[in-house]
Chains A and B, each alone.
Chain A
């Protein structure tokens, strides 16, 4: 609320709020300098840079959702996904990805959750940009040694007799959690099922949506 006096019906100016623009940090300045230099030397062009940014923004968790929904409905595809995640992505018309994709499956006995404790590695080609919390020091340092507590904070209670398996994405692999298919979805189409597969379920901090 504004902190100045209002006179009913009298038009007046409100004080301007400061812009919410980010500050120009050292690394931002570095990025701009390198980008401009590469353009000046014709290594790349502004349009090529823009196209890449646009392509990145087009990658969304819906891509991962398609892969998971296919794995839920097609046993041969599920096997392929678990053995060779990149080829499985290609088979549904998605990018192969630059890094090897390891798909890990949640079952009655195992719940998987993904973190990158060293930085913020994430299967961007399949899920888009990572959420801010995934990159936070708090998530990275806590999910690695107190995964059940962190999962509870996400509203995800894993039973005591289920093994919690944390995957630390430390090097050249990228991880996709294949959540358990929710009960009551028998006979659903892949498109319907894909709607239940959320980003968080594919990171492993939650279950798939209930129908």
Chain B
């Protein structure tokens, strides 16, 4: 999966450091009301599938100093994910 490289304003729970980066789905966490809507007192429905996506640290950070297999797992809502 690849994370959309977008920079909308508002209450977005997708960290900047993974936008445009590729990772693999670790698990489906369930479906949750969209926090980008909830933050503005809207219902956030339909609920969005939420995934844990695993990224290799060396794909996320230039010059990462740790091990080549080190990872970062991030919770990302489906509307931020693109299949590649």
Contacts and interface: CB of A to CB of B under 8 A. Distances in A.
Interface of A: 100, 102, 117-118, 144-149, 160-173
Contact of A118 (B15, B29, B60, B69): B15
Contacts of B30: 100, 172
Nearest to B29: A173
Given A118-B15, A172-B29, A145 B64 contact: yes
19 contacts: A102-B52, A117-B15, A145-B64, A160-B67, A162-B67, A163-B69, A164-B66, A165-B71, A165-B73, A166-B71, A167-B72, A168-B15, A170-B74, A171-B13, A171-B75, A171-B77, A173-B29, A173-B50, A173-B75
Interface of B: 13-15, 17, 29-30, 32, 35, 50, 52, 57, 60-61, 64-67, 69-77
Best-buried of A148, A161, A169 by chain B (most CB within 10 Å) = A148
A171 B14 CA distance: 9
Nearest to A146: B65
Contacts of A118: 13, 15
A161 B66 CA distance: 10
A168 B76 CA distance: 10
Given A171-B13, A172-B32, A148 B66 contact: yes
B65 A148 contact: yes
A117 B16 CA distance: 10
Contacts of B66: 146-148, 164
Contacts of A147: 57, 66, 70
B13 A144 contact: no
A166 B73 contact: yes
Contacts of A163: 67, 69-71
Q: Which 5 A-B pairs have the closest CB atoms?
A: A171-B75, A166-B72, A164-B70, A170-B75, A145-B61
A173 B69 contact: no
B50 A171 contact: yes
B24 to A, nearest CB: 13
B18 to A, nearest CB: 9
A2 B77 CA distance: 58
B82 to A, nearest CB: 18
Contacts of B15: 117-118, 168, 170
Nearest to A171: B75
